[in-house]
Structures are given as structure tokens and as C-alpha cells.
């Protein structure tokens, strides 16, 4: 091939740029929209990698402090962080797997009885990143691998909403809504477990209302960047109290070390915020197009959406779910300390969204007790899943963070298991 084209077709900017441009052109958008849409999508990728560096910096310092204070290795599970870090090296694989996955998902929805349209775009992107990183580091990058990754993604996008549907139907009373979420495994696992333990005769929607004021559950925890910052602040301050002051002074260099410590949560949440902006810019045009095509070719599809669509149905269970999931994560830390393994610090965002969902799922069959039990189990479960999946990402050079939600951990472990099995025959 001509030298002018070498490396062109395996470059993420080129592939994503062309795909977005062609997609906007095909939708017959005005020229101005085509140009701005393409530029915004490409800017999104750059913004994500910029945020990744900030997040890495803050996590590294927090983990050094924790290591010094408690002599243990810690992990911070956070989807946004690890996806952004993966993007630095595997953005091409991620993009291709995402496009193939969406295409296969549309085929499944069109020609099978799984009529779900997975519209949770950023989760699609995160799963594509996971598949890209796991497949490429364990085999190599070629088109067959990306096709396999895309197929797995497409299947997950169709199957997971179907698995969660019994719960979602009980919560919403509607058949026209589904859950499109990659934390489904832990939620249905804990949901069915509480079904086994607690039998509830009648489902009463009013039960539990008013135990906690709605305002309290929402305003404090829904502004994600503030929540993340406060949570990191608590972690970093507690561990600094136990850390050697000389080490802290070494880490901080010229800066006053107390100021340096207080800055870390701010750096982390700024990075988190930047990643969110980047993800929004990157996925926006792709999602519009995806939904447009989906609506056209599968008009009877059930939209599978993000967890908050369930939250208004029972806000107090959302709060219970979050608190008990977090409590489960704290208990998990003590178990991990006892076992002498790495500790998984609670991934606050996952405990909120996934924990709340597990609370709602537990409530469906077990009432309030079911919700408490389900979210508590869920908290322990996702903590250990993150711990078990962690080694898979450590050979990416990612030492301090991993995915927070259950499906990412489960998929990466299954994939690793299968790949190791295949590799023994080579």
C-alpha cells in the first residue's frame, strides 16, 4: 500500500472521524451540522484521554498514601477512569468493536425475539473498551478479533435487558421499558437471592415511602462530581492520618503537604468531570444515528435504558439500596483485610446506581427486608468481582483501578478464562 495510507485505517481518529462524517451525511444533516458533529466527536476522544491523566495522577497518590498508612494494596473501581485509561492505547479497537456491536445488536433485534434496543450509549462504549483491551492484550489485534468482540457486545446488549425484564416489569408495571445496564448480573443475582429468602405476598408501592425524605436521598448524591470529590476526600484524609508524615512531605514536594492532600480529591473529581464531558461529546452523534436507525428498522423495539428510569418509581428504596450496598462494600474491605488480599475501595458511583437498582430488584419479591438484603449482598458481590477481575487489567499497565459494575468484571473474567483455555492449545 502507498506510504501515504499506511496506518491510516487502523487509526482511531481516522476511523471514528470517517464513520461520524458518513453517518451524518447519510442522515442528510445540513453541512454545518456535519462539520460540527464530526469535530465534536473527535474532540471527545481527546478530552477523555486528558481527563484520564488527571484521574491516574490522583489515584496513584491516594494509593501510595493508603499503602504507606495501612501496608496494603488498594484498588479504586471506577468505570470512567479505567475506560479513559484504556482509550489512551486502545481507542481504535474500542471504536471498531463499538460500531460492530451496535450493528450486530440491531440485527438481533430485527431478526430474533429479543426486541430490545440498547440505548445506553456510554455503557456500550465502556463495554467496547473492556472487550477491546481484554481481547487485544491476550491475543492480538486483527479484524477477526474485533469481529468477535463486536459480536459479544451485540449479544450482551440484547440478552442483559431480557434477563432484567422480570424485575423491571414488576417495578414499572410496563412492558414498554427495559433496563440497558452493564451492572445487571449483580442486581439480578441479589434480586433472586432475596426472592428465595423473603416471600412477599402483596407488592405495595407505598411501602417505605416517607422513611427518608426524598430530598435527602437525591440532592446530596445525584450531583456525581460533588459526590465523587467528597468521597475521595474522606478516603484521602483518613489514610493521611495514619500515613508517615515524611512520606507525605516527599510526595508533595514543594507544596505544603496538607494542601497537597486536600487537592487530590479535587484533581480526581475534575478528571472524572472532564471524562464525562468527553464521553458525552464522543457518544452523542453516534447515539443519535443509532437511535434513528433503530427506530426506523425496528419500530416495535423496547428501549433499554439507564438505571435512573427506575428511580422515580420508589425513591426510598433507591436510598436504601445505595446505603446498604455501600455498607456491603465496607464489610467486604474487612473480609479482604482478613484474607490479606488487595482491598477494593468502594466505587461510589457504582454503589449508587447499581446499588439502588439492586435495592429496587430486592424489593420486588422481598419487600423492604428484601431490598436491604439484596443491596447488601450486591455491595459485597461487586467489591469481590472487581477484586477478581483486577489482574486482567493489570497487564495493561493499569495498576490502581478497575471497572466498578458487575457485568464488566464477569465478562472480562469469562473472556480471560476462555482465552487461556484456547491458548493452552497453541
Partner 1 sequence: MKITVVCSLGLGSSFMIEMNVKELLQQYNIKGIEVEHVDIATANYLKSDIFICSSSIDFQHPHQESTVICLENLLDIEELELKLRQVIPKEVWK
Nearer to partner 1, 74 or 315 (CB): 315
Nearer to partner 1, 207 or 284 (CB): 284
* Residues 249, 240: Cα–Cα separation, whole Å: 11
Q: Which stretch binds partner 1 (CB under 8 A): 100-108, 130-138, 216-224, 400-408?
A: 216-224
Nearer to partner 1, 318 or 380 (CB): 318
Residue 403 binds partner 1, judged by CB under 8 A? no
Residue 283 binds partner 1, judged by CB under 8 A? yes
Residue 147 binds partner 1, judged by CB under 8 A? no
The answer to whether the CB of 55 falls within 8 A of the CB of 272 is: yes
Q: Which stretch binds partner 1 (CB under 8 A): 9-17, 148-156, 285-293, 414-422?
A: 285-293
Nearer to partner 1, 70 or 212 (CB): 212
C-alpha cell at 126: 465502556
- Which of 256, 312, 394, 395 forms a contact with partner 1 (CB under 8 A)? 312
Residue 50 binds partner 1, judged by CB under 8 A? no
Query: Angle, to 10 degrees, between the axis of helix 257-297 and the axis of helix 79-111?
Result: 10
Residue 214 binds partner 1, judged by CB under 8 A? yes
* Residues 418, 413: Cα–Cα separation, whole Å: 9
Element at 353 (helix H, strand E)? helix 348-394
* DSSP conformation letters of 362-412: HHHHHHHHHHHHHHHHHHHHHHHHHHHHHHHHHTTT--SEE--SHHHHHHH
Smallest gap from Cβ 86 to partner 1, in A, equals: 17
* Residues 193, 200: Cα–Cα separation, whole Å: 13
Question: Which residue carries 479513559 as its cell?
Answer: 84
Q: Which stretch binds partner 1 (CB under 8 A): 231-239, 300-308, 366-374, 379-387?
A: 300-308
C-alpha cell at 418: 476462555
Residue 315 binds partner 1, judged by CB under 8 A? yes
Residue 43 binds partner 1, judged by CB under 8 A? no
Nearer to partner 1, 349 or 372 (CB): 349
Q: Which of 277, 281, 274, 279 is nearest to 41 (CA)?
A: 281
Residue 280 binds partner 1, judged by CB under 8 A? yes
Nearer to partner 1, 182 or 390 (CB): 182
Question: Which residue carries 478516603 as its cell?
Answer: 235
Q: Which stretch binds partner 1 (CB under 8 A): 23-31, 119-127, 143-151, 154-162?
A: 119-127
C-alpha cell at 134: 481484554
Nearer to partner 1, 233 or 288 (CB): 288
Query: Angle, to 10 degrees, between the axis of helix 143-172 and the axis of helix 184-197?
Result: 40
* Residues 374, 1: Cα–Cα separation, whole Å: 57
Residue 192 buriedness (CB in 10 A; 0-12 / 13-18 / 19+) = middle
* Residues 382, 165: Cα–Cα separation, whole Å: 21
Residue 98 binds partner 1, judged by CB under 8 A? no
Q: How many CB atoms lie within 10 A of CB 352?
A: 23
DSSP class of residue 176?
S
Binding mask 222-241 for partner 1 (x = CB under 8 A): xxxxx---------------
Q: Which stretch binds partner 1 (CB under 8 A): 4-12, 284-292, 373-381, 384-392?
A: 284-292
Smallest gap from Cβ 335 to partner 1, in A, equals: 30
Nearer to partner 1, 55 or 318 (CB): 318
Q: Provide the binding-site residues for partner 1, judged by CB under 8 A.
A: 119-123, 177, 214-215, 217-219, 222-226, 273, 276-277, 279-280, 283-284, 287-288, 291, 303, 305-309, 311-312, 315, 318
Amino acid at each position: 500500500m502507498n506510504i501515504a495510507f499506511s496506518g491510516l485505517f487502523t487509526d482511531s481518529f481516522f476511523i471514528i472521524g470517517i464513520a461520524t462524517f458518513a453517518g451524518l451525511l447519510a442522515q442528510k444533516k445540513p453541512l454545518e451540522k456535519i462539520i460540527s458533529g464530526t469535530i465534536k466527536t473527535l474532540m471527545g476522544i481527546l478530552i477523555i484521554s486528558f481527563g484520564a491523566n488527571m484521574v491516574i495522577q490522583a489515584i496513584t497518590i491516594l494509593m501510595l498514601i493508603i499503602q504507606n498508612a495501612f501496608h496494603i494494596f488498594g484498588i479504586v473501581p471506577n468505570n470512567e477512569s479505567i475506560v479513559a485509561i484504556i482509550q489512551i492505547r486502545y481507542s481504535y479497537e474500542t471504536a471498531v468493536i463499538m460500531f460492530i456491536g451496535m450493528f450486530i445488536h440491531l440485527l438481533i433485534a430485527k431478526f430474533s425475539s429479543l426486541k430490545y434496543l440498547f440505548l445506553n450509549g456510554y455503557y456500550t462504549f465502556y463495554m467496547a473498551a473492556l472487550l477491546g483491551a481484554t481481547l487485544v492484550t491476550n491475543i492480538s489485534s486483527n479484524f477477526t478479533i474485533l469481529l468477535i468482540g463486536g459480536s459479544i457486545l451485540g449479544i450482551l446488549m440484547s440478552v442483559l435487558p431480557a434477563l432484567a425484564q422480570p424485575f423491571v416489569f414488576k417495578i414499572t408495571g410496563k412492558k414498554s421499558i427495559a433496563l440497558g445496564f452493564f451492572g445487571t448480573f449483580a442486581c439480578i443475582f441479589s434480586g433472586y437471592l432475596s426472592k428465595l429468602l423473603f416471600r412477599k405476598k402483596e407488592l405495595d408501592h407505598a411501602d417505605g415511602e416517607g422513611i427518608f425524605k426524598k430530598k435527602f436521598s437525591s440532592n446530596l448524591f445525584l450531583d456525581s462530581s460533588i459526590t465523587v470529590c467528597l468521597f475521595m476526600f474522606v478516603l484521602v484524609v483518613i489514610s493521611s492520618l495514619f500515613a508517615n508524615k515524611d512520606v507525605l512531605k516527599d510526595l508533595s514536594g514543594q507544596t505544603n503537604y496538607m494542601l497537597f492532600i486536600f487537592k487530590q480529591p479535587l484533581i480526581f473529581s475534575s478528571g472524572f468531570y472532564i471524562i464525562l464531558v468527553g464521553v458525552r461529546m464522543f457518544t452523542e452523534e453516534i447515539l443519535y444515528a443509532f437511535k434513528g436507525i433503530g427506530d426506523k428498522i425496528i419500530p416495535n423495539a423496547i428501549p433499554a435504558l439507564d438505571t435512573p428510569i427506575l428511580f422515580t418509581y420508589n425513591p426510598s428504596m433507591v436510598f436504601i439500596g445505595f446505603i446498604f450496598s455501600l455498607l456491603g462494600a465496607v464489610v467486604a474491605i474487612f473480609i479482604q483485610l482478613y484474607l490479606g488480599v488487595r482491598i477494593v475501595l468502594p466505587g461510589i458511583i457504582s454503589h449508587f446506581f447499581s446499588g439502588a437498582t439492586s435495592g429496587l430488584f430486592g424489593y420486588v419479591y422481598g419487600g423492604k427486608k428484601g431490598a436491604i438484603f439484596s443491596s447488601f449482598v450486591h455491595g459485597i458481590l461487586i467489591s469481590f468481582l472487581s477484586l477478581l477481575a483486577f489482574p486482567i487489567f493489570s497487564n495493561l499497565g493499569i495498576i490502581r483501578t478497575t471497572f466498578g459494575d458487575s457485568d464488566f468484571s464477569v465478562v472480562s473474567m469469562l473472556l480471560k478464562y476462555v482465552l487461556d483455555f484456547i491458548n493452552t492449545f497453541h
